[in-house]
Amino acid sequence: MTPAGRPKTPLVVFLVVGTALAVLLVAYTILHRPPRLPADADHLRPQQAGDCLECHGPGKRSPRKPNHPPAESQCFNCHESA
């Protein structure tokens, strides 16, 4: 009990949960890496970023997932060659 007669338990729980969430967010941010380009015939040739959308654009044979960031022609800012 605090001097005002209120328990400190809710504050302690809030601080522990908040700290745990902050640690998980920082760990995810540091450890998350976008997938590398596959080492197949389509991806081994030299490419421009715009070439990716020929297969991965909307309605193409292997479109990007809905949760993919909308960075047009900036594929190699995140994705690396195999």
Asked whether residue 42 falls in the same domain as residue 18, the answer is no
Which amino acid is it at 73? S
Same domain, 79 and 50: yes
The two structure tokens encoding residue 48:
């421009």
Nearest to 74 by CA among 43, 48, 44, 55: 48
Domain that holds residue 64: 37-82
Q: Going residue by residue through the chain, which has 82 residues, state the pLDDT in tens, using 9 for 90 and above.
A: 556 667 789 999 999 999 999 999 999 988 888 888 888 888 887 778 778 888 888 899 999 888 888 877 788 888 887 6
Give me the pLDDT at residue 5, please. Answer: 65
Q: Is 52 exposed, middle or buried (0-12, 13-18, 19+ CB in 10 A)?
A: buried
| Structural domains in the chain (count) | 2
pTM: 0.54
